[in-house]
Structure 1
């Protein structure tokens, strides 16, 4: 109980809002490897990055072939796919830089590209989980939802699984195989991204934008013609995203405990 109290006390200090971290090697070493080689994580990140690129390209190409490519950028699902691709890309790039130039020195702070990766990761991971949960819980059965529309537009059902389930698998693997931290107070990063999307949906509605069937909304639950329902959806989504981020932080805590035990580190502390 004392260790748990120390963990939460540390996590809620004001400096935890920042992108400060002592050990840069945690951004390019695998959680379960006992040596200091960057190669194992390099291989894993290469697979995750190129897999992410394939998912994004397949989704975009099939939507264009269906004659609805202009609508591809309006959906949060696809924003999440792009964030997944960019975040795995930055992770892969960090591993490549380490492989070519050797260990990265974080004595005087993390380099900019590591901080950029950290922010992208903090956004893409909970966002992917949110998209998966929200889709399967609320949108999968709606005939006029974007996801169902994609199926009607002959988008492969396998791709539907990839963009609403495998997206989360990719990001969770990115989390489980590395050592990079997740701070609870970094929730503002994914929250800010979600806020940008909400503002975009409002501007899109005000400008007369429609979904690919001509309805005046992007998602049925985000119909600004019914501001009460849309506002409730936004509030619910904001709470869900914060909860997911908190659960991700706890998952990282468990990952680190298992990883340190496997590597036979000298002790494990919730505050480390």
Structure 2
């Protein structure tokens, strides 16, 4: 896995003035948690309903939130709030990877999955590429993000050529592994063989938290169980199976 190039702290967009504020100037994080996707069952088939709009925290509507703060204490608070926002947004949208905004700027500088996240159109403020990368580097130090290895993942050829595609762990591989293991125990699946596709898309796991999980993230989680002697993966790359112990 390649490490993204190191970046120095930079200003946001050229049009955004540098504004210094004290840590207390940032409003406290909103106590309202992210909404979750609901599902409606019809004629025996679960149909996913569109999630309600994401509720952004109050600081997202505060202009200095998009301006890199020069004071170290305030900057750390700013990074913490951005990290919490990225995780909440990804959980709400069930995003497992996100793309960094382009350094080129302009109206289309953010990929579709993060345009709303990094660009507050009402304020006319946008988090620049270098600052967004610094947020994800902060999350990586906390174990909540990781750059996608070059050549891997959906859209990797276009998205990670410059290290711009990142895993966002609103649940870490270890946490997903624990949920798979709990499901195995609760449903008496020890000794049963599943394909990896069946685990994320099969009827047996419908309703499980990991149903619909990104296949590569699923494999990261299953490798945790393999290392603990709780599972064995076998078969070819495109038709792998797993047996739980």
For normalisation by structure 1, the TM-score amounts to: 0.32
- TM-score normalised to structure 2 length: 0.34
Higher relative contact order (CA 8 A, sep 6+): 1
Query: Quick check: which one's helix share is greater?
Result: 1
Instruction: Answer 1 or 2: which has greater strand percent.
Output: 2
